[in-house]
Every structure is written in structure tokens, then in C-alpha cells.
């Protein structure tokens, strides 16, 4: 099929009796240039294992299959799954493997079953993008490189620096695990149906930081707790956090003082290394 043609897409959907579901963010990428850019950025090597999240009708999948012999796709929509199986088959020997269902629930089992992919890509469904990415970080799922299309605002949050409006716990999560770089913006017209938002292509490269928290799970929970209420100071967020309920307020206060932080400081002023240091002090191991 011609993936650049809204008419072709409409015809296939109508032949298969597939109605588009807004909740699954089904905006197909009709710009071949954008798809090629994603695949180029992914820099696939022939025998590497690739994952694609939300293949839809296979616009990106087709290009990926030209470059790799080992692709696993995750799709939730039963109608699209039928089409993908018709189009690309469902045999591991052919290098195409399809995982049915909600990727938020299926990716971990697939990781256990088939190991860490070298590359992950996808024109991500808007509603689940942050859930998917936060889940990856929380579980320590760090493929060498990932390239996604996400809503522009989400890309801004992923790349925001301390002190910027968009800086949040999600920024710390993403930048702790990956070097995150916005490669380009995509106009709404790059998709069909045309969404109401601008999108960005974002590249995430796994990074090994010099500073590592002693307890990674605690560090991530602390980051969430620190940003729990944006209008509150860091100190007050920590005082009211269930995560730290066993700690005396005076101990939390002392840790902040040891770091040279003022009582009025807010989480959005701390950089990643500050959070790592704070987590180590609070977990009592520094």
C-alpha cells in the first residue's frame, strides 16, 4: 500500500472494517521523509533485534524490515493486528514477530522472553507515551538507542533543564537514563488523520553516568516525591512523603543542610546529580 496516501489508508481501513480509536492515538505517519529520518537516526545494523511500538498499518515497519532481520512489534488494535499479520506474517523465522495487546502490560514479558533489543522505535500513541517511557526507566530497561515520535510538549519535558518551566520528575527520569535530543518537529500534516498537536522526533541514547545512586529504585521514588506538589518547597514535599515516613523530620532537614540547600528550594532547581546525592544521604548510605 502507499503509506503516504490518506486515500489508500482510508480504503484499507474501510475494507477491513476498522474504525479509528482516538484513545489509541491512531494518527498514521504519512510523511515518508519523517519515516526515513527515524529509521536513519535509529542506525540499525542488520542482525540487531529491533522493537517497534504501535506499528499501525506498518508504515515504519516496512522500512525497518528493509534494514533488519529481527523485528518485534507491539500492537493493541485487533483489526490492525489482522492487517499486519496478512502483510508481514507472524513467524519468528521470517524476522517479524508480533506481540498482541497493551504494550504497557506486555513489554516486560517480551524482554524476559527474548532479551534486550538493541534499538526501539515507534510513532508512540500520545496517551501512553510517558507511561511507556517511565516504565522503561523504572525497570532498568536501557536499550542502546531509541527513536520515537512524541507530542512536542512531552519532548520538551523530556529535555528540560533545571529551572525551566517544563522540568519535572519525568525530565529527571529520562535524562538520568538517556541522552535525550530532539531531532526535529513534525507538523500536524505529517499524519493522517491530522492531529491537533505538533510532534517531535526524539532520540534517546543510553548513557552511563559517572554518578550512580546506591539504590536506584529509592532514587527514582525520591525524585517523584520531590516533585509531588509543584507549588510546595522540596522540604515540604519530603516531609509529607509516605516514602520517608520512617525518617525524622530533623534528619531530612539535616540532609538538606548538608547539601547546602536553602529551606525555600524547590525540586525544579535541583540537577540529576543533586537528586542522586540527596537519595544517597536519605537512604542513610552516604
Which parts of this chain interact with ligand SAM (CB under 6 A)?
Answer: 24-29, 54-56, 59-60, 74-77, 80, 102-104, 123, 125, 128
**Closer to ligand SAM by Cβ: residue 104 or 181:** 104
**Closer to ligand SAM by Cβ: residue 89 or 193:** 193
**Closer to ligand SAM by Cβ: residue 132 or 244:** 132
> Shortest gap between Cβ of 105 and ligand SAM (angstroms)?
8
Cα separation, 136 vs 210, in Å, equals 21
| Beta partners for residue 29, in sequence order | 191
**Closer to ligand SAM by Cβ: residue 24 or 219:** 24
**Closer to ligand SAM by Cβ: residue 28 or 173:** 28
**Closer to ligand SAM by Cβ: residue 76 or 252:** 76
Closest-by-Cβ residue to ligand SAM is: 54
**Closer to ligand SAM by Cβ: residue 176 or 192:** 192
3-state secondary structure the chain: CCCCCHHHHHHHHHHCCCCCCHHHCCCEECCHHHHHHHHHHHCCCCCCCEEEECCCCCHHHHHHHHHCCCEEEEECCHHHHHHHHHHHCCCHHHCEEEEECCHHHHHHHHHHHHCCCCEEEEECCHHHHHHHHHHHHHHCCCCCEEEEEEEHHHHHHHHCCCCCCCCCHHHHHHHHHEEEEEEEEECHHHEECCCCCCEEEEEEEECCCCCCCCCHHHHHHHHHHHCCCCCCCHHHHHHCCHHHCCCCHHHHHHHHHHCCCCCCCCHHHCCHHHHHHHHHHHCCCC
Amino acid at each position: 500500500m502507499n503509506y503516504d496516501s490518506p486515500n489508500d489508508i482510508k480504503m484499507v481501513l474501510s475494507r477491513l472494517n476498522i474504525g479509528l480509536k482516538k484513545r489509541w492515538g491512531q494518527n498514521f505517519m504519512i510523511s515518508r521523509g519523517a519515516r526515513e529520518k527515524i529509521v536513519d537516526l535509529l542506525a540499525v545494523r542488520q542482525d540487531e533485534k529491533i522493537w517497534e511500538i504501535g506499528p499501525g498499518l506498518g508504515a515504519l515497519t516496512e522500512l525497518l524490515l528493509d534494514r533488519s532481520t529481527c523485528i518485534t512489534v507491539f500492537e493493541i488494535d485487533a483489526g490492525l493486528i489482522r492487517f499486519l499479520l496478512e502483510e508481514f506474517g507472524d513467524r519468528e523465522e521470517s524476522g517479524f514477530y508480533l506481540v498482541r495487546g497493551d504494550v504497557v502490560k506486555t513489554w516486560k514479558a517480551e524482554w524476559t522472553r527474548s532479551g534486550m533489543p538493541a534499538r526501539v522505535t515507534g510513532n508512540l500513541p500520545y496517551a501512553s507515551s510517558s507511561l511507556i517511557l517511565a516504565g522503561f526507566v523504572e525497570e532498568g530497561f536501557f536499550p542502546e538507542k531509541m527513536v520515537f515520535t512524541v507530542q512536542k510538549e512531552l519532548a520538551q519535558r523530556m529535555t528540560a533543564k533545571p529551572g525551566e518551566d517544563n522540568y519535572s520528575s519525568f525530565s529527571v527520569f529520562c535524562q538520568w537514563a538517556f541522552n535525550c535530543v530532539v531531532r526535529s518537529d513534525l507538523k500536524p500534516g505529517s499524519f493522517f488523520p491530522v492531529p491537533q498537536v505538533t510532534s517531535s522526533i526524539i532520540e534517546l541514547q543510553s548513557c552511563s553516568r559517572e554518578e550512580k545512586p546506591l539504590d536506584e529504585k529509592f532514587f527514582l521514588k525520591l525524585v517523584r516525591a520531590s516533585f509531588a506538589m509543584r507549588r510546595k518547597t522540596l522540604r515540604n514535599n519530603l516531609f509529607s512523603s509516605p516514602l520517608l515516613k520512617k525518617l525524622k523530620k530533623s534528619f531530612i532537614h539535616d540532609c538538606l543542610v548538608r547539601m547546602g540547600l536553602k529551606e525555600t528550594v524547590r525540586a525544579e532547581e535541583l540537577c540529576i546529580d543533586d537528586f542522586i546525592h540527596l537519595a544517597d544521604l536519605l537512604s542513610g548510605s552516604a
